Amino acid sequence: MSLLSVKNIVSGYGSMEVLHGLNVEVEEKKIVAILGPNGAGKTTLLRTIFGVITPRKGNIIFKDTDISGTHPERMAKMGICYVPQEGNIFPTLTVQENLEMGAFIRQDDWHNRMEEVFEFFPSLTDRRQSSAGELSGGMRQMLAIGRALMVNPELLLLDEPSTGLAPVLVDQIFERIAALNKQGVTVVLVEQNAQALNAADKAYIIEGGENKAEGKADELMKNEEIGKHYMGR
């Protein structure tokens, strides 16, 4: 069963239409990669799913409910979290304060959850009191994901978590995303890096705001034509 269905979404900014009827199905407890070149509309898709932008046409269905245009804060309360491509941490706050900010919509006691997040990203534990702005790129991404995890999301929307990271850190971040998924978190992983296919179950390739290809991640990886056109092979 799909946890999230994106149906025929038309979306954009002002007079500019960016997504021209996009479709994505995300099954429960899977990792779905969305790949596409610069300007394909990947970020616009995540913003539209999360309610930062209201779609002009189409529907976003989460657990059989139409959530199109629901306010982001309400989305987070429903179990959907979004880690944006940029500006996803508070650089002047400490690592721990960033995690506390992640819990702001929770009314229950979240302190145990914070310790679980530190266990999940042990390298953050040593930097607990450092300001987030001093962290390396890889640790910033882990902190950004950790902040989203503070509300125990069921569905995590990640926008290019591997961008700008050294290869060894790219491997680490994908490994942590796979580990999260094993704990039961469903993930939509937007990437330009085709390595995301190694972590994903299913993948979509989008370009020019339209669906170009979709399939099982391992099959897309083997497809020569797709590799050549969309993954720079």
| E runs forming strands in the chain | 2-13, 16-27, 31-35, 57-62, 65-66, 80-83, 155-159, 186-191, 202-207, 210-216
13 vs 104 by CB, closer to ligand ATP? 13
- Out of 5, 23, 43, 152, name the contact with ligand ATP by CB under 6 A: 43
155 contacts 188 by C-beta, under 8 angstroms: yes
- Out of 8, 28, 39, 71, name the contact with ligand ATP by CB under 6 A: 39
Q: Tell whether residue 163 is a contact of Mg ion (CB under 5 A).
A: no
The SS3 assignment for 52 reads coil
Q: Tell whether residue 32 is a contact of ligand ATP (CB under 6 A).
A: no
CA-to-CA distance for 233 and 229, rounded, in angstroms? 8
230 contacts 36 by C-beta, under 8 angstroms: yes
* Amino acid at site 210: E
Q: Tell whether residue 13 is a contact of ligand ATP (CB under 6 A).
A: yes
- Out of 94, 130, 152, 192, name the contact with ligand ATP by CB under 6 A: 192
167: phi then psi, degrees, rounded to nearest 5? -50, -40
Q: Tell whether residue 18 is a contact of ligand ATP (CB under 6 A).
A: yes
Nearest to 3 by CA among 45, 74, 60: 60
Helices (H) and strands (E) in the chain, counts: 10, 10
Instruction: Supply angle C-alpha 67, 79, 195, rounded to 5.
Output: 95
Distance of closest approach, residue 177 Cβ to ligand ATP, in angstroms: 18
154 vs 159 by CB, closer to Mg ion? 159
Distance of closest approach, residue 212 Cβ to Mg ion, in angstroms: 16
Q: Tell whether residue 42 is a contact of ligand ATP (CB under 6 A).
A: yes
Window of 35-43, 69-77, 167-175, 215-223 that interacts with ligand ATP by CB under 6 A: 35-43
Q: Tell whether residue 161 is a contact of ligand ATP (CB under 6 A).
A: no
Q: Tell whether residue 53 is a contact of ligand ATP (CB under 6 A).
A: no
15 vs 38 by CB, closer to Mg ion? 38
SS3 content of the chain, % helix, strand, coil (to 5): 35, 30, 35
Instruction: Supply angle C-alpha 151, 217, 11, rounded to 5.
Output: 60
Q: Tell whether residue 43 is a contact of Mg ion (CB under 5 A).
A: yes
44 interface partner picked from ligand ATP, Mg ion, none, CB below 5 to 8 A per type: ligand ATP
Using CB under 5 A as the criterion, which residues of the chain lie in contact with Mg ion when the complex forms?
42-43, 85
Using CB under 6 A as the criterion, which residues of the chain lie in contact with ligand ATP when the complex forms?
13, 16, 18, 36, 38-44, 85, 192
